[in-house]
Chains A and B, each alone.
Chain A
Amino acid sequence: MSEIEPQAQDTGKREASPLLRHILPLVAVALLAAVLLSLLQSATAERATAARRAAERAALEAVLPPTQHDNDLLTDSFVLDPAAPQFTQQELLGLSAPRTAYLARSNGTPSAVILPLETRGYRGPILLLIGIDREGAITGVRAVEHNETPGLGDKIDLDESRWILGFDRRSLDNTDPVLWRVKKDGGEFDQFVGATQTPRAVVGVVRQALDFFELNRAALLGD
């Protein structure tokens, strides 16, 4: 470097180290950005985590009222991986990717489970959460992610219609297994005008979740 510089200076001061002069602004901007961003990240990280946890808790409370358990669901959880099933007939849940299940406890005893479900709707996968209590009755079902047609299939979303509340308190005991269908197929559940496929898929997978719960009751609840 020091041997080259005198030569370069002969051709003019401005050309002293053109590469450096060109790259310096980029390096300076990059460094400054990296420092500021990491400061901002550490300043907001705690708040962001708290916000994410609050949102997750709210989603779980929708399918399992907080009155039915006294533990922190987010810490009492396990992952259901379709590639490495730990339960009998885990394919009943329809999962295509690993998702988290939660165990609710009351005074230390397992009182309910929250299971992730997946089914194929009219326009792609529908991801759901279902809460099932010790007696095998549904405490709540919610569609957490879907792409169903606005105005037709999206009535599975509580924002659009109260249909999904129709599962509350149902079980294989109080609703005959053959009635777990939409009305068009001779069952108990309403279909939507112009969209039968979506509710049919949801009713089907909810029924499967109850079957899965019955098959794995002991393993899930630790009885």
Chain B
Amino acid sequence: MSGDQKVKGPWLIATIIVAIIAIGLSIWGAITFATEKEWSWGKATAALGFGTWAVIGGILWFAGTAFFIMELAGFTIYNRKLVRYKLNWDSIDISIVALTAAVYGGALAATGGLTIIPGFTWIRPANALTPVFGILFGIPGCLGTAIGNFLADAFAGYLGWGSIGGFIGNFILAYIPYKMVSDPSLRSPKAWFELYVSIIIGSIWCSAYISWWLYVWGPQVSPWPLVGLPAALVWGWFFPFVIVNNLLVSAILSGPITYILYPVVKNWGLLWTDRIKISS
């Protein structure tokens, strides 16, 4: 057995395990959501109490916002260090933002009528595109994803103060795979392992981010509520549903889509690794 095979073996096993967890969890969540009168996932998350979620959601919200501002300001985490990076934001980068925003926003809007929580969320198969855009295009792809979600909110009739949470929440959904997947070509078991782990983390983080935003601007917390969703519905319904909604399609489709699109994106010189320079 060659050294290379020795290295690949454990990653392959780990990838299979984490893929089964991601796909299994999402299918389990979707089936229980569709069949149970009182959704067990919702009861489980609500049982932890609003105080617990306020703290966990708050930490993830502030961390997510910090990452968003940090990346826009030209800083990133590279090899576990905070470093400067340079992206020219030339016409190609701006076109990537427009491309990803139009494709993601349009694809989300196409299923805009499949409502789950009126005014807040719907069944969104296009969520599978978020890790793809993050892994292949980097920050322009993440930004396009955020704008696309905002656009889709308008098309679905859901535009409101909660859309700001959705904006950065979807940025994070693309950002976590962008930062965690070390090989965008997905030509190694390690890259697939990182993809599945990043999809699980991104789905939970995105949902917690949006839920916390809806919670703090909701009628139970804010003296000037700008969001009408009660806390029980935020943490006992919206939060677990958005995790399942993100996870289900991403765990199944994002990997194969990224694998197929990688050579095209690379040949066109649009891959983020070819477009940014890490300064220090």
A binds B: no
Query: Which residues from chain B sit less than 8 Å from chain A, CB to CB?
Result: none
Which residues of A are in contact with B by a Cβ distance under 8 Å? none
